[in-house]
A and B are shown apart, each in its own frame.
Chain A
Amino acid sequence: MKLTETKQGQKVKIVDVNAPLFLRRRIFELGFSPSTVVFVYAMQRKGIGGVYAVRGAVLGVDKKIAKNILVEPI
C-alpha cells in the first residue's frame, strides 16, 4: 500500500521507498526508514499530499514523493 492511500489518524509501518538512490537516502534520513511507524497527522486536498508524524517529528510530504513510500497497516 502507498502512503497516499492512508487515512488521517491511521498508523502504518514503512516497508520501502521507491526512488532514485540519492532521493531514497534522503527520504530515509528524514525519518521514513524501513519498519518505522508513521502516524498520518493531516491530509490535504488532492494533489498536495499529506502531513505525517514520524520518529517524533512532523513532516509534510509532497504527493509525488508520498506515493513512492510503501507502507503496511499495523
Chain B
Amino acid sequence: MNKIFLVGLANAGKSTIFNKLTGSDVHTGNWHGVTVNKAVATCNINNQKYLLTDLPGVYGLTPFSPEEAVTVREILNNQDSIFVNVIDANNLERSLNLTLQLIELGLRVVVALNFIEDSKKRGVEINLSALSNALGVEVLGLEINTKNLYKNFSKLISRAKICDKPNYLKDWNLEEPVQFVGKYCDTSFALYNGIRLREGASDDLWNCEIPLSLQSKLKNFALFDGLKIITNTRTNEVNKILNKCLKSKAKNPYGSSKFDKIFLNKITAIPVFLSIMLVIFYITFGFFGDFLSNLTNYFFVDFCGGGLIKLMENLSAPIWLVGFVNQVLIGGVGSVLSFLPQVILLFLFLEILEQSGYLSRLAWLLENSLSKFGLSGRSIFSLLMGFGCSTTAIPTTATLQNGRARTKTVLLIPFMSCSAKLPVYSAIAGAFFGAGSVLVIFALYLLGIAVALLLAVVWQKIYPTLSSEEIVEFTPLRMPKFRKLLQNIFKNIYQFLSRIWTVLLACTIIIWLCNNFTITFQFITNETQVSILETISKLIAPIFAPLGFGWGAVCALIFGLVAKELILSGIAVLNGVVGSAVAGSLISGSIVTFTPASCLAFLVFCLLYSPCVSALSQLKHIVSKRVFWGYIFLQFAIAYGLGALTYLIVDLVGYIGGLEFAWLIFASVCVILCLEYSLICLLNKNTCASCRRCDFQRK
C-alpha cells in the first residue's frame, strides 16, 4: 500500500488533520511535542487506499530527542512515499527550513498550509502560487474546520511528484562526500549522510558503518564551519522565498499575547500561576467539588445503595450477603464513584490550561527549578493536584510526553499529603498538641515534600531524565473549544473508571473478608469472635514496636490502605466511640492509644506509607510491575524508618508540652528542608544543560 506521511514542525496541526482524515482519536493539544510516537491508519483517497502516518513534530532532519528520531527514521526509510509537509501559516518563516531539507533529499513533497484563516486575521497574507513556484512543490491551503479538507487533501496527494533538488546544493560540492559514504551505507541514505559530513556532523550519520581506520578522514569532508554555512544558505533561501510570496507580515510575533504582560512578567508571573492553581484547587477540592462529590455519593451510596439493601432485607437475603453488598459494592466501589466529580473538574481545568496555551508558559517558568529533579515544568500541575487527591492527580500526568519524567512525577504524587489525610492529622495531632496542632500538620506537609525532593534527586542520579524544555516555544493563547473539552473529558472518565475496577474491587473484597471472617472462616456474628484482620494485626504488631504502635494502630493503618479516611473511622470503631470523641479516646482509650512519641511516629507513618488502593490502581497502569512493587516496598521502608526515628528522637528529647513542642517540630522540619535544598543546589551546580544532552546524543 502507498504511504503518506504527515511531517511538520511541532504544533502545526498534524495530528488534528490525521484525526479528521482517518477518524482516529490521537491526542492533540495546544503545545509543542504532543505526539511522541507515530500513529498509522488507512485512508481512502482518490479511490485508492493509503496508509496515513502521523509523526512527532521536528524542526529539521537531524533528531534531537527520541521522538524526533522516530520521525527521521520513518522519513529516511520510506523515501518513495508521499510527504505532506504541514505548515502553520503563522509560522511560515521558521517552517521552510524543514521543507527545504525535505526537498534537498528529492522526496515526493507537497505542502499543506494550515491556519490560513487564523493568519489572515493576524495580518499575514501569503501568495500560494508564488510559494509553490519558489519551492517547486505543490502548495495548498487546508482549513481544518471546513468541509473541503478531504477534497483539498485528495487534490494535494494527486499532484505529488518528485521534486527537483534546489540549486544551492551545488555550492556544497556534495559529490565527493556522497560518493565516499555511499560505500558504507545504503545508497538512499548517501545524500543525507553527505550533507551531514559537509556540516562536520560525522556523529549524526544515518545507518552508516564507517571503518575505524577511516573515521579520521571524515573531518576532511567538513566545510569550514560547515554548520553555519549550510544554515546560512538555507536561511538565505528561505528569505528569498518569503520575499516572493509573503505579501504582508503580522505585526506581532506568533505566540505573543497581551496577557503575557502578566503571565510572563518578572514580578507577577509566579503569583499569577499560584493564584490560578489555588483557584483550581479550591474549586475542585473545596466546597464546590465537595458538594458535587457528596451529591454523587448520596445518589450512589444512600439512594441506590440504600434502596438495594432495603430490597435485600425485605427479601430476607443472608446477612453476610447484605454485608458484602453494603461494604464492598456500595462502600468500596461507591466511594470511588464519589471521586468522579472531582476528577471531571480537574480534567476540565487541565484541558482548559492545555488548550488555551498557558501550559507552555507554565512549563517555561518552572522548568529551571524542576529540571534539577528530573521533572518537567508541566509536572507541577499534577504534583500540586496531589495535595487534593492522588487518585485524581495521577491520571493528569498523561500530558507529560517524556516517559521517565512521567513515571517520576507519578511516583512523587503520593508524597504530597492528600486531603483525605487531613482529618486524620487534625484529630490525632489535636489530641496531643492542642493549639500547636496546626504547626504539626504543616510540618507533616513539609516533611512529605522534603522526602519527595530527596527521592527525586536520588532518582535523578540513578535514572537521569533529560529535560527537553530548555527552549520552550510559546503557543498562542486561544479560547478552548467546548466540543473538544467535552470529548477529552469523556475519554478521561472512561480511562479513570476502567482502571479502577480490578484492583479496587479485589482489595476491598480481601479487606472485607479479613474483617468479617474469623481465622477458621466463620462469618462473624458476635463481638467475642476474633476477625482475621485482628489476628493479623496482633501478629504483625511486634514489628511495629520500634514505632510504639499497638495492634489497634496497626489495624487502623490496614484500613487506611482502602481509604485514608478509614484510619479515623477505624480507630473510632476499635475504641468504641463516635465522632469527636475519637481524639480523647487516643489518650485514654482501650485499644488504640498513643504516647506523644508514638503519636508523632504514627502521623509520620500515615504521611509516608502506601497510598490508598484507588490511587494504587491508577499507579499500576502507568508503571511497570517491578517498579510498582518496588515502590510500595520503598514507601513502607521510608515510612517505617522515619517513623522509628521520630519515635526514638521524641523519646530521647522528651515531651515538653503542647505548643512549644509543636514549634520545635515545625522548626526542625524547616531546617531539614532548607538543608536539603541547599544540598541539592550544590549537587547540581556543575551540570550544564549541554553536558546532559551530550550523553544522550551519543547513545
Taking Cβ atoms with an 8 Å cutoff, the residues of A that contact B are 16, 19-31, 33-36, 39, 41-45, 47-49, 51, 53-65, 68
Instruction: Select A64's contact among B256, B473, B690, beta carbons within 8 Å.
Output: B690
Given contacts A27-B471, A29-B60, A45-B266, contact A56 B365 (CB under 8 A): no
Query: Are B64 and A59 closer than 8 Å at their CB atoms?
Result: no
**Would you give the shortest CB distance from B586 to chain A, in whole angstroms?**
46
Q: Which residues of B contact A61 (CB under 8 A)?
A: 470-471
Query: Are A42 and B364 closer than 8 Å at their CB atoms?
Result: no
**Would you give the shortest CB distance from B19 to chain A, in whole angstroms?**
25
Interface residue ranges of B57-103 to A (CB < 8 Å): 59-60, 62, 64, 90-94, 97
Instruction: Select A58's contact among B59, B235, B269, B473, beta carbons within 8 Å.
Output: B473
Q: Which residues of A contact B155 (CB under 8 A)?
A: none
Interface residue ranges of B201-243 to A (CB < 8 Å): 201, 203-204, 227-228, 231-232, 235
**Would you give the shortest CB distance from B369 to chain A, in whole angstroms?**
9
Nearest to A27 among chain B residues (CB) is B471
Q: Which residues of B contact A23 (CB under 8 A)?
A: 690, 693
Q: Which listed segment binds A: B246-254, B447-455, B569-577?
A: B246-254
CA distance A31 to B97 in the complex (A): 10
Instruction: Select B368's contact among A20, A35, A36, A49, beta carbons within 8 Å.
Output: A49
CA distance A20 to B697 in the complex (A): 11
Given contacts A33-B231, A48-B365, A56-B250, contact A25 B688 (CB under 8 A): no
Q: Which residues of A contact B361 (CB under 8 A)?
A: 60
**Would you give the shortest CB distance from B223 to chain A, in whole angstroms?**
13
Nearest to A23 among chain B residues (CB) is B690
CA distance A35 to B694 in the complex (A): 27
Q: Which residues of A contact B64 (CB under 8 A)?
A: 22, 26
If A33-B231, A51-B474, A62-B689 are given as contacts, then 17 extra A-B residue pairs at C-beta distance below 8 Å, sorted by A number, are A19-B690, A22-B201, A26-B64, A30-B471, A34-B231, A34-B232, A36-B235, A39-B253, A44-B269, A56-B253, A58-B254, A59-B474, A61-B470, A62-B368, A64-B689, A65-B471, A65-B690
Query: Are A48 and B368 closer than 8 Å at their CB atoms?
Result: yes
Given contacts A20-B690, A62-B368, contact A55 B94 (CB under 8 A): yes
Instruction: Select A57's contact among B91, B227, B694, beta carbons within 8 Å.
Output: B91
B265 within 8 A of A: yes
Nearest to A19 among chain B residues (CB) is B690
Query: Are A26 and B94 closer than 8 Å at their CB atoms?
Result: no
B336 within 8 A of A: no
Given contacts A16-B228, A45-B266, A57-B253, contact A64 B59 (CB under 8 A): no
CA distance A49 to B199 in the complex (A): 29
Query: Are A30 and B697 closer than 8 Å at their CB atoms?
Result: no
Nearest to B252 among chain A residues (CB) is A53
Query: Are A22 and B471 closer than 8 Å at their CB atoms?
Result: no
Instruction: Select B264's contact among A29, A51, A62, beta carbons within 8 Å.
Output: A51
**B660-699 interface mask toward A, CB cutoff 8 Å, 1 = contact, 0 = none?**
0000000000000000000000000000111001100100
Number of chain B residues close to chain A: CB under 8 A: 47
B200 within 8 A of A: yes
**Would you give the shortest CB distance from A49 to chain B, in whole angstroms?**
7
B255 within 8 A of A: yes
Given contacts A44-B269, A64-B688, A64-B689, contact A58 B255 (CB under 8 A): yes
Instruction: Select B471's contact among A41, A42, A47, A60, beta carbons within 8 Å.
Output: A60
In this complex, the member of B199, B365, B474 whose beta carbon has the largest number of chain A beta carbons within 10 angstroms is: B474
Q: Which residues of B contact A22 (CB under 8 A)?
A: 62, 64, 201, 203-204, 693, 697
The 5 closest A-B pairs by CB, nearest first: A58-B255, A60-B364, A53-B253, A62-B470, A64-B689
Q: Which residues of A contact B255 (CB under 8 A)?
A: 57-58
Q: List 23 A-B contacts (CB under 8 A).
A: A20-B694, A20-B697, A21-B201, A21-B227, A22-B62, A25-B60, A25-B199, A25-B201, A25-B227, A29-B59, A30-B471, A34-B228, A44-B266, A44-B365, A48-B368, A51-B474, A56-B92, A56-B249, A57-B94, A59-B472, A62-B368, A62-B689, A64-B688
**B529-541 interface mask toward A, CB cutoff 8 Å, 1 = contact, 0 = none?**
0000000000000
Nearest to A53 among chain B residues (CB) is B253
B351 within 8 A of A: no
Taking Cβ atoms with an 8 Å cutoff, the residues of B that contact A are 59-60, 62, 64, 90-94, 97, 199-201, 203-204, 227-228, 231-232, 235, 249-250, 253-256, 260, 264-266, 269, 361, 364-365, 367-368, 470-474, 688-690, 693-694, 697
Nearest to B467 among chain A residues (CB) is A62
Given contacts A28-B227, A34-B231, contact A63 B368 (CB under 8 A): yes
**Would you give the shortest CB distance from B62 to chain A, in whole angstroms?**
6
Q: Which residues of B contact A29 (CB under 8 A)?
A: 59-60, 97, 231
Given contacts A21-B227, A31-B94, A64-B690, contact A57 B473 (CB under 8 A): yes
**Would you give the shortest CB distance from A24 to chain B, in whole angstroms?**
6
Q: Which residues of A contact B256 (CB under 8 A)?
A: 41, 53, 58
**Would you give the shortest CB distance from A62 to chain B, in whole angstroms?**
4
Q: Which residues of B contact A16 (CB under 8 A)?
A: 228
Q: Which residues of B contact A62 (CB under 8 A)?
A: 367-368, 470-471, 689
Query: Are B59 and A26 closer than 8 Å at their CB atoms?
Result: yes
**Would you give the shortest CB distance from A26 to chain B, in whole angstroms?**
5
Q: Which residues of B contact A47 (CB under 8 A)?
A: 368
Instruction: Select B689's contact among A21, A35, A58, A65, beta carbons within 8 Å.
Output: A65
Q: Which residues of A contact B473 (CB under 8 A)?
A: 30, 57-60
Query: Are B94 and A41 closer than 8 Å at their CB atoms?
Result: no
Given contacts A33-B232, A45-B266, A64-B689, contact A21 B94 (CB under 8 A): no
Q: Which residues of A contact B231 (CB under 8 A)?
A: 25, 28-29, 33-34
CA distance A26 to B60 in the complex (A): 8
Query: Are B264 and A42 closer than 8 Å at their CB atoms?
Result: yes
Q: Which residues of A contact B232 (CB under 8 A)?
A: 33-35
In this complex, the member of A44, A55, A65 whose beta carbon has the largest number of chain B beta carbons within 10 angstroms is: A55
Instruction: Select A65's contact among B250, B265, B470, beta carbons within 8 Å.
Output: B470
Q: Which residues of B contact A24 (CB under 8 A)?
A: 227
Query: Are B60 and A60 closer than 8 Å at their CB atoms?
Result: no
Query: Are B204 and A42 closer than 8 Å at their CB atoms?
Result: no
CA distance A51 to B236 in the complex (A): 25
Q: Which residues of B contact A64 (CB under 8 A)?
A: 470, 688-690
Query: Are B59 and A30 closer than 8 Å at their CB atoms?
Result: yes
Q: Which residues of A contact B93 (CB under 8 A)?
A: 31, 55-57
Nearest to A42 among chain B residues (CB) is B264
Query: Are A21 and B253 closer than 8 Å at their CB atoms?
Result: no
Q: Which residues of A contact B470 (CB under 8 A)?
A: 61-62, 64-65
**Would you give the shortest CB distance from A38 to chain B, in whole angstroms?**
11
**Would you give the shortest CB distance from B367 to chain A, in whole angstroms?**
7
CA distance A19 to B203 in the complex (A): 15
Instruction: Select B474's contact among A20, A60, A65, beta carbons within 8 Å.
Output: A60
CA distance A47 to B685 in the complex (A): 12
**Would you give the shortest CB distance from B348 to chain A, in whole angstroms?**
26
Q: Which residues of B contact A35 (CB under 8 A)?
A: 232, 235
